[in-house]
Amino acid sequence: MTDLFVYGTLRHIPLLEIVLGRSAAQIDMVACDLPDHAAMAALEGPFPLISPRVGHSQSGLVLNNLSSLDLERLNFYEGGFDYSLRRETVSNGQVVDVYFPPKNGVSPDGLWGLQAWEDTWAAMSVIAAREVMSFFGERSAADIVRMFPMIRSRAAANLNALSSKHGNTTLKGEVEVVKKTREYTEFFALDAFELKHERFDGTKTSTLQRAVFVGTDAAIVLPFDAKRDRVLLVEQMRMGPLGRGDPNLWQLEPIAGRVDAGETPQACAIREAEEEAGLKINHLEQVCEAYPSPGCSTEFFYQYIGLVDLPDDIIGISGLETENEDIRTHLLSFEALMELVQGQQAATVPLVTMAYWLAFHRDRLRGLT
């Protein structure tokens, strides 16, 4: 049996319960302090690290009598980030294990506070932890580190779904999930369901088998120069046409990107415009919030027109090398954009819907300049 002192996010009881796989009532824990140490915020993300700090006493919890299975689960959750256990003496005199960060790769950035973390990150972290721990015994900790950005983005999408604007006029019927299994997970995921759902006449269906592609939320922005009356599109190779057997693999699209955990869709749109095309967005006009294919995908799009300056020399080849992006930009007059759309040469739904939205609002937007 092992006694462990936790000083950071595992002090959040719902998260601790998920990691250990049992309720708080079944965990032998006591509040305690670690003298001459402090929990510091990590520059690399919203998580803490413990650091020696003379005169400071770090509050936390001692988890008593942890089993080997408990330690395996904790090491799976923490171990992929190269945290290692070290023996320390806490304020009640116990000698306990404490997770310390690696010497390289994690940098302290001021004191870390549990309440501030809970206010911003706890709900998302609990959802992400459920997915992480679902892989316990099946995937390595190193796999989880590689998958973690997408796990967090999927968790953030779950939270965003709670504040969606639509649904005022549709049925709020009951859905009974009989069984749910994760069939595939890498960058994206695929879930299989057995479910029953309420019908419009109040009865319930028999058990149905369904599947859903699990993506993330995305921000999509069509840059529009109201003064020059033109837009910027990006061109890149796309997997959808490849998988479908379409010979036209390179597509013209608005700028788009995944909404990261802790990021608003608006901030994502502004960031992606800078990363994909070197643009500074002056103002965002929201077009819609919508599912592109709700019958089979969780993907959810936040679409914007971005008012921006588009001089002749803005086009070129761009994209982040770290994400293997190879993007070519194009300038189109408004008339050329509408010819593209009306001539059936635009094959991405966001581009089509945003072009028609722009046609409707164009005069108003040009009046803003």
Catalytic residues: 323
Q: List, as one string, the DSSP characters of 125-179.
A: HHHHHHHHHHTTTTS-HHHHHHHHHHHHHHHHHHHHHTT-S--TTS----EEEEE
Distance of alpha carbon 195 from alpha carbon 2, whole angstroms: 42
Contact indicator for 51, 7 with CB cutoff of 8 Å: no
Give, rounded to a whole angstrom, the gap between the first and last alpha carbons of the chain: 69
Q: Residue 340 to residues 171, 184, 205, 232, 294: CA-CA distances in angstroms?
A: 38, 37, 44, 13, 26
Distance of alpha carbon 7 from alpha carbon 279, whole angstroms: 42
Q: Residue 114 to residues 12, 17, 72, 89, 281: CA-CA distances in angstroms?
A: 8, 17, 24, 22, 35
Q: List, as one string, the DSSP characters of 164-206.
A: -S--TTS----EEEEEEEEEEESSSEEEEEEEEEB-TTS-B--
Q: Which H or E run includes 70? A: helix 68-79
Q: Residue 83 to residues 48, 77, 106, 107, 140: CA-CA distances in angstroms?
A: 11, 10, 10, 13, 15
